[in-house]
Amino acid sequence: DRAGLVVEFIYVLDGNRPLAEAALTAIRTTDPRVRTITLARSFGEATSLMMGVRHAAAPVIATLTHCRQVAAGEVPRLVRSLLDQADVDVLAARRDTVGRERMRGWLRRSVFAGLARMGSGLSLSDLGCRLRVFRREVADHLDLYGDQQHFLPILAARRGFKVVEVPVRSAGELSGRATGSARSDLLRLLDMAATLFLVN
């Protein structure tokens, strides 16, 4: 509201989340802008993201994950920034290094960013940040699966859309479930290999 934006909020619940669904139902009684989509079972973040995007009506879409990754004020700032730039299609957020979790993950992020740059030619340093703001046309050309939500900017660039990485303020210490195990890194590497194979 402070940013002067007319918005809708779409929450995708990846499987049975009764507490979250009850909380969102209560919010919907006072705020009709809130919509909830509940998947029959857990399909993963990429499927949830695509489901939300396909139900969105707005010409500009901002995506967020369940973890609080960036300062709240950065979301409307990036939306407004994209609306003001007719020649840009995707804004990908790049967090600062506030918080121990961000510092511990620096090497892992650097490895993934280097591989992405070698394979796609696109210079992105924070593929783990899920704040992305993009135009409706971009969403219409994307079909993510597996762990490919990390590589949305790469896939969009391959489709000919202009992608710009934008610095944002981190939320500090991460909230929500931690993601960074050796198993998840291995799966992400496999998904990155599949993604780079597709784009090349």
pLDDT tens string 62-89 = 999 888 899 989 999 999 999 999 999 9
pLDDT tens string 15-41 = 989 999 999 999 999 999 999 999 999
Give, in degrees to the nearest 5, the angle at Cα 140 between 44 and 165: 75
Q: What pLDDT sits at residue 178?
A: 46
> Which residues fall within 8 angstroms of residue 96, CB to CB, at 6 or more apart?
102, 167, 168, 169, 170
Q: Rounded distance, CA 186 to CA 200, Å? A: 21
Percent of residues, the chain, with pLDDT higher than 90: 44
49 phi/psi in degrees, rounded to 5: -60, -45
12 phi/psi in degrees, rounded to 5: -105, 120
Mean pLDDT of all residues in 154-176: 83
pLDDT band at 124 (very low <50, low <70, confident <90, very high): confident
The least confident of 105-109, 136-140, 169-173, 176-180 is: 176-180
pLDDT band at 131 (very low <50, low <70, confident <90, very high): very high
Tokens found for residue 99: 């918080």
Q: What pLDDT sits at residue 190?
A: 66
